[in-house]
Amino acid sequence: MAPTITASTINSNHLLPLTNKLRKPIVEKMRRERINSSIEKLKSLLGGEFLKQQPDSRQEKADILEMTVYFLRQQHEESHKKSSCSTATDDGYSSHNQCLTPMD
- Cα–Cα distance for residue pair 82/16, rounded to 1 Å: 57
pLDDT tens digits for range 46-79: 877 666 666 666 778 998 899 899 989 999 999 8
- Answer with the residue of higher pLDDT: 97 or 19: 19
Q: What is the pLDDT of residue 71?
A: 87
- The reply to whether the predicted model has a pTM over 0.75 is no
Q: How sure is the predictor about 1, in pLDDT bands with cuts at 50, 70 and 90?
A: very low
Residue 14 · residue 32 · CB < 8 Å? no
Q: What share of the chain is helix, strand, coil (3-state, %, to 5)?
A: 80, 0, 20
pLDDT tens digits for range 23-42: 899 999 999 999 999 999 99
